[in-house]
Amino acid sequence: MHDVWLGIQRTNRLFYLMTTADPNLLANIRIVLTRTSHPGNIGAAARAMKTMGLSQLVLVTPAIFPNSQADAMAAGSTDLLAQARICTTLAEALADTTLALGVSARRRDIVAEVLTPPEASLRLLTEARIGPVALVFGNETSGLSNEELSLCQGLVTIAANPEYSSLNLAAAVQVLSHEIRQAWLAHASWPQPEIDAATGAEIERFYGHLETALAELEFLNPGSPGKLMLKLRRLFARTRLAKEEVNILRGILTAAQEARQRADRASNHDAE
Ligand code: SAH
């Protein structure tokens, strides 16, 4: 940190900054736009990203794409549109990420942690040392659904005017991309993440297993699951699960399922 600031005071500061900040970190930060209605916003978001050095755009079921309005709003960033990955589900977009943060103006009950844009930028850049991470933006009218938020480990809110806090989608992408760039420029050496974090796909498989096991144990009634799974997701999202922890939890679930099956077999046997 100290020598970065020394660097900023030097005359050839651009060169110094470029040699200290690692471009691979930005390449691992993915901007995910879910269910975007207006193609112009996709183009404007690509422009917002490219001006700040981000390049990985992922679109989850965009209403209209590709499209000339998207190209027009993208201006010199149409390369990002050409490379954009299109997914049919948010889970698919996040499958290989170890950290996904939902970007939302409204505070929800589902996600454990609410971060400011600078806090989120530090977290993303720290995790980006080991693999892909994502910022997830919602639809222009409805924002992020609870289901979409339940795939994220945290929430980022831009502290806007409480009387009118809803930014245009691409403007929100610009604010976050700018924050990430400032954090990236200011920090040369990042601490290693402490845990070997589980990926989105591993965590989703765990939740699937948990739900099945809880139904088999008759703790959860599949007919009326209520909010139990959402509450459990919230609990686990708060802990930042490591790969090994997911494996232990799944081992416990399997042991409980097997014990239940043995008990069922024994009581069927008695009844015969
Ligand atoms: N009416 C929607 C607003 C959607 S704006 C709602 O209430 O959620 C489109 C997207 O821009 C949002 O889903 C979010 O990702 C982002 N956004 C807009 N304003 C924001 C703010 N103040 N803080 C964080 N994200 C914001």
Which tens digit of pLDDT belongs to each residue from 195-244?
788 999 999 999 999 999 999 999 998 888 778 988 899 888 888 889 99
Residue with CA at minimum distance from ligand 1 atom 11: 169
Shortest-distance atom of ligand 1 to CA 144: 13
**Architecture (CATH level 2) of domain 200-271:** Orthogonal Bundle (1.10)
What is the pLDDT confidence band of residue 112, given thresholds at 50, 70 and 90? low
Which of 139-148, 159-168, 226-235 is least confident? 226-235
Which of 7-11, 15-19, 219-223, 256-260 is least confident? 7-11
Q: For residues 202 and 166, what is the distance between their CA atoms, to the nearest angstrom?
A: 33
Q: For residues 43 and 156, what is the distance between their CA atoms, to the nearest angstrom?
A: 22
**Architecture (CATH level 2) of domain 2-185:** 3-Layer(aba) Sandwich (3.40)
Q: For residues 34 and 129, what is the distance between their CA atoms, to the nearest angstrom?
A: 25
C-alpha 104 to ligand 1 mean position (Å) = 5
**Is any ligand 1 atom within 6 A of the Cβ of residue 4?**
no
C-alpha 166 to ligand 1 mean position (Å) = 5
What is the pLDDT confidence band of residue 15, given thresholds at 50, 70 and 90? very low
Closest CA to 143 of 189, 191, 96, 107: 107
Asked whether the predicted pLDDT for residue 13 surpasses 60, the reply is no
The pLDDT value given to residue 16 = 39
End-to-end CA distance of the chain: 73
The pLDDT value given to residue 73 = 98
**How much is the average pLDDT of 155-173?**
96
Which of 33-37, 49-53, 225-229 is least confident? 225-229
Closest CA to 191 of 126, 100, 101: 126
**How much is the average pLDDT of 98-124?**
86
> CA angle, 211 as apex, 210 and 212 as ends, to 5°?
95
Q: For residues 55 and 64, what is the distance between their CA atoms, to the nearest angstrom?
A: 20
**Is any ligand 1 atom within 6 A of the Cβ of residue 21?**
no
C-alpha 168 to ligand 1 mean position (Å) = 7
> What's the mean pLDDT when you consider all of the chain?
88
% of the chain at pLDDT higher than 90 = 71
Q: For residues 263 and 7, what is the distance between their CA atoms, to the nearest angstrom?
A: 68
Domain(s) of CATH 3.40.1280.10: residues in the chain: 2-185
Residue bearing the bigger pLDDT, 83 or 225: 83
C-alpha 143 to ligand 1 mean position (Å) = 6
Domain(s) of CATH 1.10.8.590: residues in the chain: 200-271
Closest CA to 157 of 128, 183, 179, 141: 179
The pLDDT value given to residue 72 = 98
Q: For residues 127 and 29, what is the distance between their CA atoms, to the nearest angstrom?
A: 9
The pLDDT value given to residue 193 = 63
C-alpha 86 to ligand 1 mean position (Å) = 21
Asked whether the predicted pLDDT for residue 111 surpasses 70, the reply is no
